[in-house]
């Protein structure tokens, strides 16, 4: 009998390692073979590029991105110094475009302006002779302006300014060029952009002005996060290098002692991909067909991988919430990758997807506290560490700002609000009217505080003074108030579901009619929402409505998704897979897959489709493994073996079946202990199937004897307790924050 061939069950892991290493090799190989003469692509800015659109608004230099300068940026760079333009009518057009970028109120002419008494220049730019369109020139100009003569003059300029053999020298041995020659000015001209064959349209001339500002100012601007410019030299602070060194040492150490702990060194891959010679970035360009194709492709993969369970898994069961998080995260990632944020009709539904995550946060945590009433410190630590540990590590390694990864602090903020709300007067949580009144009071207090503005400003000023943390109170208030009440909608939904179940209303004769009515209303809410949001003038107009209406499409989707037992028992494995590492995909996209701090796209190969496939595969793999490593680190900090006291690594249905001894409720956007597959199906044969709410509210609360301030723990030597670990971690971050700018 011939032996059967089968794939190694770990083939996705090996494939992920392969594509990640391949992306690093391609980036390093491109640098060594092609880019070593121009590692920062400064020459490419002046010599090579292409248009990404037909409206001549999105110019793409070869291997880098242009910063779109605003008056404030340009003023910082130029420092009130004069910029002198000398030339003909073509140069005059460039002057007007340049002046308009600096100040839109500047006059349309310079009559009466005083002539300079002294000319002192530190940067000289010789403009190439502009190419013309002979067919559109008038007879007089056509007789004197020949393309052959223009090419000859530009070639002579090039060889006079750039000495022969200069590129044979290492980049650091050449020194700054005394004169810049932006030959790319002619490359970006298009025959369709001129009427007289000589003077080109405003968009092309404006791009030329932006190139001049990028050439002069990119190295002057502060290289702090977020960076959306042509990449400059890569600088690392001493403390940043110290964090990286610690992580380098941690990875091999954990690999020696544990099977998967070495994954904690994977942020170094993100740091490697963030180094300019290795990574190059390109601009986004929204194309409706590409956006639609990627979403349809994701939908097809999700539908193909749908698997139906043996029994009804219940309302908002674990697999369903993982699936929900997964397809929403894919939609958000595609939205970011394709640059669809400027399209109001797309932005508005994506805002609802973010609100849906927060709805699940309110629903999951409220369910837990109503059912278990466990307000111990262990659970607080588990949730906050799991959500924030990777984000905090990344902020130090990448020298970024924690609040820029806004979803981690946003979910943490709302978890603390939920905790405070449920803890206050917790003895009355079993009384629905009192609990509802408490939720309303909490919503009112949070609304007053966030609308006032000054409490957040005072808090952030205090953080700046005591911890050297510089966050924008205005930006934070915008993030919170945009989804101000959706968390409370989730908490009310949890309360309603619990009371419906406890009162056994599902067994009432009229429940079927009520269920059908709810499904119908849910469908109508979704239809109404799409009609409403498409009718808004802009996304800014929609933002004013969003806090008041976000609940409608969220509840509408929930009603349709749970319309029947078939739907409740069916789950897309592909979407659930992404859902279990959705937090990591959100954070990692800032440094891998996207580039220039989400303003561009990471590029390792030139052909965009191939680049998308390669970087997407590596991106998903890195997200999954980092989620695994974060679970390991969370279990180590919070104590207890995986599957007991900690929140373990992501896993599929098979892994969840192995962890069925202990369970937890789903923390939205965060992977943790899941209820086992067998447990979800009803437990031992002959037992009554467990309700979805019971599965959702499972806890891993520590026994009373194991809580508190524990320094000595276990029988195998000294181990610090949870509070000691957290204290050391927070203390180290506090010291690092105080010394970060000086060391």
What is the token pair recorded at 733?
Answer: 């971050």
* Residues with Cβ within 8 Å of residue 333, at least 6 apart in sequence: 585, 589, 593
* Residues with Cβ within 8 Å of residue 283, at least 6 apart in sequence: 52, 58, 60, 65, 66, 600, 601
Phi and psi (nearest 5°) for 223?
Answer: -90, 60
Closest CA relative to residue 366, chosen from 498, 534, 169: 498
Distance separating alpha carbons of residues 367 and 663, to the nearest angstrom: 14
Distance, C-alpha 481 to centroid of its chain: 20
Distance separating alpha carbons of residues 15 and 451, to the nearest angstrom: 49
Burial of 224 from C-beta contacts in 10 A (0-12 / 13-18 / 19+):
exposed
Q: Which residues of 5-29 are buried (b: 16+ CB within 10 A; e: fewer)?
A: eeeeeeeeeeebeebbeebbebbee
Query: Which CA distances in Å does 304 have to 258, 280, 292, 327, 410?
Result: 36, 35, 18, 13, 34
Which position has the token pair 């799409």?
530
Residue 61 DSSP label = E
Residue 276 DSSP label = T
**HEC secondary structure over 212-238:** HHHHHHCCCCCCCCCCCCCCCCCCCCH
3-class SS at 556? helix
Distance separating alpha carbons of residues 396 and 391, to the nearest angstrom: 9
Distance between start and end Cα atoms, the chain: 69
Phi and psi (nearest 5°) for 327?
Answer: -70, -30
Closest CA relative to residue 417, chosen from 466, 390, 380, 389: 380
Closest CA relative to residue 630, chosen from 643, 647, 617: 647
Which helix (H) or strand (E) element contains residue 50?
strand 49-51
Q: How many CB atoms are closer than 10 A to CB 635?
A: 23
Which helix (H) or strand (E) element contains residue 307?
strand 306-308
3-class SS at 739? helix
CA contacts within 13 A on the Cβ side of 634? 34
Distance separating alpha carbons of residues 437 and 66, to the nearest angstrom: 53
Distance separating alpha carbons of residues 359 and 484, to the nearest angstrom: 11
Q: What is the DSSP string of 415-429?
A: HHHHHHHHHTTGGGT
3-class SS at 264? helix
List residues with catalytic annotation: 89, 196, 199
Phi and psi (nearest 5°) for 269?
Answer: -65, -40
Distance, C-alpha 565 to centroid of its chain: 35
Q: How many CB atoms are closer than 10 A to CB 148?
A: 7
Distance separating alpha carbons of residues 507 and 56, to the nearest angstrom: 64
Q: What is the DSSP string of 676-703?
A: -HHHHTTSSTTSPPPPHHHHHT---PPP
Tally DSSP H helices, then E strands, for the chain.
30, 9
């Amino acid at each position: 009998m011939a032996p059967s061939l089968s794939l190694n069950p770990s083939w996705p892991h090996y494939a992920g390692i392969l594509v990640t290493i391949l992306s690093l090799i391609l980036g390093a190989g491109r640098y060594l073979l092609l880019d070593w003469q121009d590692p920062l692509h400064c020459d490419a800015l002046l010599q090579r590029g292409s248009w990404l659109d037909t409206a001549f608004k999105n110019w793409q230099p070869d291997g880098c991105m242009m910063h779109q300068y605003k008056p404030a940026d340009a003023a910082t760079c130029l420092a009130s110094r004069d910029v002198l333009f000398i030339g003909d009518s073509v140069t005059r057009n460039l002057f007007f475009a340049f002046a308009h970028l600096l100040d839109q109120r500047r006059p349309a002419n310079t009559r009466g302006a005083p002539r300079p008494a002294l000319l002192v220049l530190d940067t000289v730019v010789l403009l190439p002779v502009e190419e013309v369109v002979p067919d559109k020139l008038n007879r007089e100009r056509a007789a004197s302006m020949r393309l052959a003569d223009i090419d000859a003059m530009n070639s002579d300029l090039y060889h006079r300014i750039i000495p022969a053999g200069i590129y044979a020298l290492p980049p650091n041995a050449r020194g700054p060029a005394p004169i810049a020659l932006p030959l790319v000015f002619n490359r970006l001209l298009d025959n369709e952009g001129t009427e007289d064959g000589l003077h080109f349209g405003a968009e092309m001339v404006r791009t030329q002005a932006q190139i001049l500002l990028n050439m002069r100012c990119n190295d002057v601007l502060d290289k702090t996060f977020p960076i959306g410019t042509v990449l400059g030299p890569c600088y690392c602070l001493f403390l940043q290098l110290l964090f990286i060194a610690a992580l380098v040492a941690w990875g091999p150490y954990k690999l020696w002692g544990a099977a998967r702990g070495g994954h904690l060194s994977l942020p170094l891959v993100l740091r490697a991909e963030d180094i300019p010679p290795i990574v190059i970035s390109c601009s986004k360009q929204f194309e409706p067909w590409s956006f639609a194709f990627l979403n349809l492709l994701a939908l097809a993969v999700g539908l193909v991988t749908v698997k139906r369970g043996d029994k009804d898994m219940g309302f908002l069961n674990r697999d369903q919430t993982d699936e929900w998080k997964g397809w929403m995260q894919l939609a958000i990632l595609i939205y970011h990758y394709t640059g669809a944020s400027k399209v109001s009709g797309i932005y508005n539904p994506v805002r609802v997807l973010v609100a849906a995550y927060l709805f699940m946060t309110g629903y999951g945590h409220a369910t837990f506290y109503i059912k278990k009433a466990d307000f111990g410190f262990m659970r607080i630590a588990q949730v906050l560490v799991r959500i924030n540990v990777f984000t905090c590590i990344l902020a130090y390694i990448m020298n970024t700002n924690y609040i820029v990864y806004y979803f981690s602090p946003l979910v943490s903020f709302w978890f603390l609000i939920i905790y405070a709300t449920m803890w206050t007067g917790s003895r009355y949580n079993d009384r629905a009217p009192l609990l509802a009144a408490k939720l309303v009071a909490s919503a009112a207090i949070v609304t007053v505080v966030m609308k006032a503005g000054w409490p957040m400003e005072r808090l952030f000023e205090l953080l700046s003074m005591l911890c050297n943390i510089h966050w924008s109170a205005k930006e934070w208030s915008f993030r919170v108030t945009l989804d101000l009440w959706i968390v409370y909608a989730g908490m009310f939904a949890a309360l309603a579901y619990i009371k419906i179940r406890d009162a056994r209303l599902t067994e009432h004769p009229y429940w079927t009619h009520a269920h059908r009515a709810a499904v119908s209303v849910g469908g109508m809410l979704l239809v109404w929402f799409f009609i409403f949001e498409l009718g808004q003038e802009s996304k800014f107009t929609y933002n004013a409505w969003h806090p008041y209406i976000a609940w409608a499409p969220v509840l509408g989707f929930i009603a349709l998704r749970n319309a029947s037992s078939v739907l409740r028992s069916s789950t897309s494995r592909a979407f659930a897979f992404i859902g279990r590492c959705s937090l990591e995909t959100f954070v990692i996209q800032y440094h891998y897959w996207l580039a220039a701090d989400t303003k561009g796209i990471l590029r390792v190969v030139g052909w965009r489709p191939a680049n998308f496939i390669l970087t997407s595969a590596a991106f998903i793999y890195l997200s999954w493994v980092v989620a695994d490593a974060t679970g390991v680190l969370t279990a180590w900090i919070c104590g207890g073996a995986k599957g007991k006291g900690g929140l373990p690594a992501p896993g599929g249905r098979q892994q969840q079946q192995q962890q069925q001894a202990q369970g937890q409720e789903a923390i939205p956007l965060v992977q943790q202990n899941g209820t086992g597959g067998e447990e979800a199906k009803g437990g031992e044969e002959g037992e009554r199937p467990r309700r979805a709410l019971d599965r959702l509210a499972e806890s891993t609360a520590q026994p009373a004897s194991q809580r508190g301030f524990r320094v000595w723990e276990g029988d195998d030597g000294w181990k610090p307790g949870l509070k000691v670990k957290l204290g050391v971690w927070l203390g180290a971050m506090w010291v690092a924050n105080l010394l970060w700018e000086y060391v």
